[in-house]
Amino acid sequence: MKTMTCNQLGGACDKEFHANTFDEIEKMRKNHGMEMFQKGDEPHLNAMNKMRDLMTTPDAMNKWFESKRKEFDALPENE
Ligand SMILES: [Zn+2]
């Protein structure tokens, strides 16, 4: 298992996600983001807007995901 926080994944809080693969953690981040979006949590809404500005092209989006995937891969395994 590896751990990344909401902040590390382009979010806006210290919530930790634990997963074995990047795809899993990305799914958790997405669910958490949706939850916060529905609550109208302002820091998360701002973070989402920032992400949207970053991801204007599929290429930019891929690059972001690849950099996060590398970050995830470089993390040490939790016992
Ligand atoms: Zn969060």
pLDDT tens, 3-47? 999 999 999 999 999 999 999 999 999 999 999 999 999 999 999
Place 78 in a pLDDT band, splitting at 50, 70 and 90. Answer: confident
In percent, the amount of the chain with pLDDT more than 90 equals 95
Distance 15 CA to ligand 1 centre (A): 6
Cα–Cα distance between 51 and 70 in angstroms, integer?
18
Distance 12 CA to ligand 1 centre (A): 5
Averaged pLDDT, 53-59: 93
**In this structure, what DSSP letter does residue 3 have?**
E
Contacts of 52 by beta carbon, 8 Å cutoff, 6+ apart? none
Cα–Cα distance between 28 and 19 in angstroms, integer?
9
pLDDT at 7: 97
Distance 14 CA to ligand 1 centre (A): 6
The pocket of ion ligand 1, defined by CB under 5 A, consists of 6, 11, 13, 15
Distance 7 CA to ligand 1 centre (A): 7
